[in-house]
Chains A and B, each alone.
Chain A
Amino acid sequence: MGSAVVADRIQFAFTVMFHYLFPIATIGLAPFIAWFAWRAARGDDEVARRASVFWTKIFAINFAVGVVTGIPMEFAFGTNWAPFSARAGAVIGQPLAMEGVYAFFLESVFLGIMLYGRHRVSPRLYAWSATLVGIGSWLSGFFIVATDAWMQHPVGYRMASDGSIRLVDISALLFSPFAWWQYAHVLVGALVAGSFIVAGVGAYYLLAERNIEDGRRYVRLGVLVALVASALVIFPTGDRNSADVTKYQPIKLAAMEGLFHSTNGAPLAIIGMPDTQRRELIDPVVVPNVLSFLAYGNFTANVKGLTEYADTLWPPVALTYYAYHVMVGLGTIFIAVAALAVLLLWRGRLTSFRPLLWVLMLAMPFPYIANEAGWVVSEVGRQPWVIYGVMRTADAASTNVAAGETIFTLIGFVGMYFLLGLLFMLLVLREIGLGPNVATHATQEAEV
């Protein structure tokens, strides 16, 4: 029984983390595509027109892989987590069904116009399509985050006599402040990734000395958005998320910070390795009193440590701690890189300063890591609960599916996703290699 739950958790973690790589890019790139499409619709901005076509292709590859890997997620609740679905389906089925109906179709149908109908529609309708695709991808993210936020902080429900959970107030679920701050954090996180992708590809073109005009545009726009988005990640969205965790999930906060013992004026650990046996942080480098300030706005406030709680209520401490520190560390570096880039942009030196172009190009994978790490903090950190304080993960896994079966399908998913990952890289690198100019030539040939 225990090992079946472990197998189910590993499988869910693997499939959802792989899936999420693609929504990060679609959510993050959508506003750029809409921006370029509207610029192009307003007049003869050739670079913007090329950019809207080029980035739509990158978007489409991400969307296709996102759909294909999203289908297993839609059904994983039923296959691997049947008791959870039977009990909580009346609540979480609701936003998931709304995602399909309101968001996914919007994305897929209008993406069809952008990919295949560009020469049949006016630039304005094309720009509207880009906007609707963007709205679809952002709405999709909202419904998923609202579902997760309910599992983190359940509201608007009641228990029926048979133990199943009934939704009483859908607006409480959809307009929960917990959900909105989490959603805002997820959005700006994806926007950081999107802006680093745009800037990174632009930097590559400048370094390779091809598509110079396009590369300059991408780098400039990318670093500006990156600075704003990476600042918003930390304040106010990250700050508000921390406040919610402090309030509703204090054990997660203690695990994130590696704080084992309740402390007045708790320090913020910059580095250090949590040791759950000896219940201390090994070799810590700390900033005194800062954790108390961040959590409660007061440098001497008491922050509760893990030992306040039974260790059966602890999440996996090391994983939560490291994921949180990776996320925060990378988030800080993003601000520094973006700020330096914007400073150089202001001095008019950005697009000719090769060292920073190298940094921008090589930075592309890291926002992905930060986004995924953030979700690890959120989801691993709330263990042992699948619905916080209501239902334990151990009681949520399908009892009619054996560990052996789950391990078998996990191996299959690993193999399938390896193939899918190779395909994705092949397609995306090919489009980047062709570049916005070649793409336009091919399009003009297709027109003739």
Chain B
Amino acid sequence: MNVAAFALLATTIAIYVVLDGYDLGVATVAPLVARGAAQRAAAMESIGPFWNGNEVWLIAAGGLLFALFPRAYASAFSGFYLPFTVVLWLLMFRGISLELRNHLASDLWRGFWDTAFTGASALLAVLFGVALGNLVRGLPLGANGYFLGRFAFLLNPYALGVGIFALLALAQHGLAFLTLRTDGELAERSRVLLARLWWGVLLLYCATTLASLALRSGTAAEAPMRLAPMVVLSLLALGAVHWFTRIGKPGAAFAASSLFLASLVLAAAITMYPYLLPAFPAGSGGIDVTNAGTGALGTARTLALTLPGLAAVVTYSIFVLRRMRGGVKPTSAR
């Protein structure tokens, strides 16, 4: 039961990363690939209809964490108080920037908001990576299960490395999305940059994977074994991104990039299991699925109440996407 609950949570977070990942990525790379007002507008409009809906998955993940593992929810968000509040502000600020840019036909105005949008989104990508890195590395949990995440502790080399990796991986995801959903010069420049950036992603993927294994190796001897299939999957997906970009199949490249991101989240989850918040240093226990949970009965009830709903969400989301296939044009004159 706990495995199912943990898997459901990890899957929901993976879906959030894949979905919000591309709009964060597009925002990050937009100044690198979009030249001139028309292309910048095209890049922004490619994600305009979606970013808000993608963030609903973050709300779903938060709700599930709360219902399934209330102690982990309480400890994590109070412990990450300031960093998490900064994340919330950045999420709002990027939404504001994206919506405001279209309301004055002035290059200065648009340039300012585009830069703000890019800055906030890139910082978010790094912060999400830093958070994930710290989760894997472990947190300074007190006896009562609470902690206070000081920046001095959280901004360690390993977590920062994961942060930079997250930035590149989401940038790659955004480029794959732009290659798929835009056309002309913008799509072509995205494809070229994607092919180049890919090497950086590969390099950092290898580095962070090795660092993670070194970090956890002393504690969970079985972790490398559990992790092996995920590493193979990640590498295959990453290889596929490169291959499909080269042969000019942007849809498949985007799918491969999505799979790559999902496999990263799942690999992190497998490394951490059964802990939701491992203590630092590794091996000193932590908040796990049992002591954070609501008992077998409570967990079973939450799963029974939410799984049908999530299945319905996936079904009607696919239905709606099929109905709307073939590019999206806003009905309002933006």
Tell whether A and B belong to one assembly. Answer: yes
Q: Which residues of A contact B (CB under 8 A)?
A: 53, 57, 63-64, 67-72, 74-75, 77-80, 82-86, 88-90, 92-94, 96-102, 104-106, 108-113, 115-121, 125, 160, 166-167, 170, 398-401, 405, 408-409, 412, 416, 419-420, 423, 426-427, 430, 439, 442-443, 445-446
CA distance A192 to B320 in the complex (A): 32
Q: Interface centre among B63, B80, B99, B306, by most A CB within 10 Å?
A: B63
- Whether B305 and A94, one on each chain, are in contact in the complex, defined by CB atoms closer than 8 angstroms, is yes
- Whether A108 and B320, one on each chain, are in contact in the complex, defined by CB atoms closer than 8 angstroms, is no
- Whether A98 and B309, one on each chain, are in contact in the complex, defined by CB atoms closer than 8 angstroms, is yes
Instruction: Report B298 CB to chain A, min CB distance, Å.
Output: 5
Answer whether residue B52 sits at the interface, using C-beta atoms and an 8 A cutoff. yes
Contacts of A85 in B (CB 8 A): 66, 70, 73-74
Contacts of A121 in B (CB 8 A): 323
Contacts of B84 in A (CB 8 A): 75, 79
Answer whether residue B76 sits at the interface, using C-beta atoms and an 8 A cutoff. yes
Instruction: Report A61 CB to chain B, min CB distance, Å.
Output: 9
- Whether A101 and B306, one on each chain, are in contact in the complex, defined by CB atoms closer than 8 angstroms, is yes
Answer whether residue B49 sits at the interface, using C-beta atoms and an 8 A cutoff. yes
Contact of B78 among A78, A109, A119 (CB under 8 A): A78
- Whether B55 and A67, one on each chain, are in contact in the complex, defined by CB atoms closer than 8 angstroms, is yes
Instruction: Report A280 CB to chain B, min CB distance, Å.
Output: 42
Contacts of A74 in B (CB 8 A): 59, 62-63, 66
Instruction: Report A95 CB to chain B, min CB distance, Å.
Output: 9
- Whether B147 and A445, one on each chain, are in contact in the complex, defined by CB atoms closer than 8 angstroms, is no
- Whether B77 and A78, one on each chain, are in contact in the complex, defined by CB atoms closer than 8 angstroms, is yes
CA distance A405 to B59 in the complex (A): 24
Contact of A416 among B93, B142, B320, B323 (CB under 8 A): B93
CA distance A247 to B46 in the complex (A): 55
- Whether B103 and A430, one on each chain, are in contact in the complex, defined by CB atoms closer than 8 angstroms, is yes
Contacts of A160 in B (CB 8 A): 295
Contact of A90 among B53, B91, B298, B324 (CB under 8 A): B298
Given known pairs A85-B73, A97-B66, A101-B310, the reply for A109 and B316 (CB within 8 Å) is yes
Instruction: Report B308 CB to chain A, min CB distance, Å.
Output: 9
- Whether A97 and B306, one on each chain, are in contact in the complex, defined by CB atoms closer than 8 angstroms, is yes
Instruction: Report B289 CB to chain A, min CB distance, Å.
Output: 14
- Whether A79 and B317, one on each chain, are in contact in the complex, defined by CB atoms closer than 8 angstroms, is no
Contacts of A116 in B (CB 8 A): 49, 324, 328-331
Instruction: Report B234 CB to chain A, min CB distance, Å.
Output: 28
Contacts of A398 in B (CB 8 A): 78, 81, 146
A-B contact pairs, 15 of them (CB 8 A): A69-B92, A71-B62, A75-B84, A77-B66, A79-B81, A89-B74, A94-B67, A100-B64, A101-B64, A110-B316, A113-B323, A401-B78, A408-B82, A423-B99, A427-B103
Shortest Cβ distance from B58 into A: residue: A71
CA distance A78 to B277 in the complex (A): 14
Q: Interface centre among A57, A74, A93, A125, by most B CB within 10 Å?
A: A93
Q: Interface centre among A70, A90, A439, by most B CB within 10 Å?
A: A90
CA distance A37 to B32 in the complex (A): 43
- Whether A89 and B63, one on each chain, are in contact in the complex, defined by CB atoms closer than 8 angstroms, is no
CA distance A335 to B71 in the complex (A): 47
Contact of A80 among B67, B78, B95, B148 (CB under 8 A): B78
Q: Interface centre among B66, B68, B70, by most A CB within 10 Å?
A: B70
Q: Which residues of B contact A (CB under 8 A)?
A: 49, 52-53, 55-56, 58-60, 62-64, 66-68, 70-71, 73-82, 84-85, 88-89, 91-93, 95-96, 99-100, 103, 142, 145-148, 294-295, 298, 301-302, 305-306, 309-310, 313, 316-317, 320, 323-324, 328-333
CA distance A80 to B323 in the complex (A): 42
- Whether A97 and B67, one on each chain, are in contact in the complex, defined by CB atoms closer than 8 angstroms, is yes
Contacts of B330 in A (CB 8 A): 115-116, 446
Contacts of B333 in A (CB 8 A): 442-443, 445-446
Contacts of A77 in B (CB 8 A): 66, 73-74, 77
Contacts of B91 in A (CB 8 A): 68, 71
- Whether B82 and A405, one on each chain, are in contact in the complex, defined by CB atoms closer than 8 angstroms, is yes
CA distance A442 to B148 in the complex (A): 52
CA distance A94 to B76 in the complex (A): 18
- Whether A75 and B78, one on each chain, are in contact in the complex, defined by CB atoms closer than 8 angstroms, is no
Shortest Cβ distance from A85 into B: residue: B74
Shortest Cβ distance from A397 into B: residue: B78
- Whether A64 and B93, one on each chain, are in contact in the complex, defined by CB atoms closer than 8 angstroms, is no
Instruction: Report B260 CB to chain A, min CB distance, Å.
Output: 25
Contact of A170 among B82, B103, B305 (CB under 8 A): B305
* Nearest 5 pairs of A and B residues by beta carbon: A89-B70, A78-B77, A93-B67, A101-B309, A442-B333
Shortest Cβ distance from A84 into B: residue: B74
CA distance A377 to B88 in the complex (A): 29
Q: Interface centre among B100, B294, B328, by most A CB within 10 Å?
A: B294
- Whether A75 and B60, one on each chain, are in contact in the complex, defined by CB atoms closer than 8 angstroms, is no
Given known pairs A109-B320, A400-B147, the reply for A99 and B63 (CB within 8 Å) is yes
Given known pairs A85-B74, A89-B73, A97-B67, the reply for A102 and B309 (CB within 8 Å) is yes
Given known pairs A100-B56, A100-B59, A116-B328, the reply for A86 and B294 (CB within 8 Å) is no
Contact of B81 among A99, A100, A119, A401 (CB under 8 A): A401
Shortest Cβ distance from B96 into A: residue: A423
